[in-house]
Structure 1
């Protein structure tokens, strides 16, 4: 079985092309599951910010793996953005629940913490997080038919994107009226659940009133990943810079790192065929077992 975890401000539907592909008999015939994470669309959305701490998010997915896969481990857990944050923690704490891990533009907590503490460019690139944790962030993002959220996806809203990008982001040709309608359908259920992920995590740039990542220490054992891991990294992601892939091999026993040129944080939409091809190439030689 393959399980796919989405990020902010998306939902399970972004994985549809991958679910269709990998479920076909000629592509492995995997059972594919893509949940809406806690706080998104029609999933449970607790009001308490503490309910979005990593341990509870990991518990959700471990329980779902048990329901969908029983005692058998996943063939792979595939994750993007905040889904990747959950996946990194799950792979560290419950390696027996998956054979392989695939991460798409979601920073491992070791390099991310280091960059937030000492890398000026990444600190600037992550400054948008300090907007998303504000009490009125959801109202601002919802206003004028989600104008600022769509600006987030296209790179046109500087308050949500880095001002340090060295190259212009490609035009978001993928953001068609039909895709916009899918986003609106998700967002109309509320944004606060997704924003609570940012509020519950201290991994954000320090400010005059919030120590953020500067006050965080993570023990080495909490960073170790023992399962074979594929990391796909779109090189034009202006929020999560390529520097976040540096030093990964110190934490991951078996790592395959694939940079993807001319792609942004939304590489799942921009280059789905490339993402599928890289995941397929990683799965086939590694699992050596029939799909589940």
Structure 2
């Protein structure tokens, strides 16, 4: 059974969490992305808490800015160091060590950073369609295809982005689900019940979610942008912040139009213990589309 609770972190942030499994068991932590929330992991939380699947304690926080977690208004509060601090503090409250950190989309951005900077906090890392900062920066700087695929980021940093996203029953947000992949077929998961969950989430506020994009320079250049906003063109990342020396599963749905497979090229150079699995016929929303397949890959990786 999934329980919900709020964890107050020592630095003044509170994260609302969804949890299954007994305290004291090995911990799996699941980090969601945009424009989602912790509930996207419910099926996996229940699966991995069962004794026959490992009997793990499973914790899925809502990242800062989402659902009932703290939502600072200042975009600077969403810089990577703050997001990483949140998850490191949450791990400390959950016993100080994870069996595996599992993450998708923006959650993956946090997870890549945490695994590179504090690898002692976990035994393993599992990434689902979330670009490694090294290959993402390379593609944003050099690939017109990636720049075009990521152009939506420059919409989300607009000062009126929240109001525009909320228009017409969140028309633009539904389009993220229906247009970021194959044109037909995979959207059967977007039922009225799931839509109701998302409406409840988005009505709680969109400033926090948009602030992830406002705080990050990993965006394509904008035509006519001011000189003080060069986006990814001005970014360099030290090599030691990019290397992940942990067993790492990378699940990559190949029909993800925002994150083309070119992002996988050279990834093994940063992640020498990588287990890369390409998934045909799935989009960015693979956790929704094929939860049983995701669970099976994770189960095999955790053995």
Q: TM-score, normalised by structure 2?
A: 0.88
The answer to whether residue 94 in structure 2 is matched with residue 79 in structure 1 is: no
Distance in 2 (alpha carbons) for counterparts of 1:59 and 1:37: 11
The answer to whether residue 170 in structure 2 is matched with residue 146 in structure 1 is: yes
Distance in 2 (alpha carbons) for counterparts of 1:206 and 1:221: 26
In the other structure, the counterpart of 2:42 is 16
Q: Is the 8 A contact 1:169 1:264 kept in 2?
A: no
The structural deviation recorded for 1:148 is: 1.2
Distance in 2 (alpha carbons) for counterparts of 1:96 and 1:236: 34
In the other structure, the counterpart of 1:252 is 271
Aligned counterparts, 1:11-50, within 5 A: 11-50=37-76
The answer to whether residue 69 in structure 2 is matched with residue 54 in structure 1 is: no
The structural deviation recorded for 1:120 is: 1.2
Aligned residues: 273
In the other structure, the counterpart of 1:290 is none
Displaced runs of 4+ in structure 1, greater than 6 A? none
In the other structure, the counterpart of 1:193 is 208
* Structure 1 residues not aligned, in runs of 5+: 156-160, 285-292
The structural deviation recorded for 1:171 is: 4.4
In the other structure, the counterpart of 1:7 is 33
Select the structure that is richer in strand: 2
Q: Is the 8 A contact 2:186 2:289 kept in 1?
A: no
In the other structure, the counterpart of 2:253 is 234
In the other structure, the counterpart of 1:107 is 131
Q: Is the 8 A contact 1:23 1:31 kept in 2?
A: yes
3-state SS of 1:173 partner? helix
* Structure 2 residues not aligned, in runs of 5+: 1-26
Q: Is the 8 A contact 2:245 2:273 kept in 1?
A: yes
The structural deviation recorded for 1:169 is: 5.1
RMSD across aligned positions (CA): 1.1
The one of 122, 125, 143 aligned to 1:119: 143
Distance in 2 (alpha carbons) for counterparts of 1:191 and 1:7: 13
Q: Deviations over 1:75-98 (max 9, x none)?
A: 000000000000000001100000
Q: TM-score, normalised by structure 1?
A: 0.92
- Check 1:237–1:247 CA distance in 2 against 1; reply closer, same or farther (3 A cut): same
Q: Which structure has more RCO (C-alpha within 8 Å, separation ≥ 6)?
A: 1
